[in-house]
Structure 1
Amino acid sequence: MEHNHRLSSESGTLLDDPGQYRQLVGRLLYLTITRPDLTYSIQILSQFMSAPRQSHWDVTIRVLRYVKQSLGQGIFIGPQSLELTAFCDFDWASCPMTRRSVIGYFVSIGGSPISWKTKKQTIVSRSSAEAEYRAMATTVSEIIWLRSLLSSLGVSLSQLSTYSVIL
Structure 2
Amino acid sequence: MKLPPGFESSHPNKGAVQINVLVYVDDLIISGNNTAALRAFKAYLSDCFHMKDLGTLKYFLGIEVARSSSDLFLCQRKYTLDIISEAGLLGSKPVGFPMEQNHKLGLANGPLLDDPEPCRRLVGRLIYLVVTRPDLAYFVHILSQFMHAPRTGHWEAALRVVRYLK
TM-score range, shorter chain: 0.3 to 0.5
| More strand, by proportion | 1
**TM-score normalised to structure 1 length:** 0.39
Structure number with greater Rg is 2
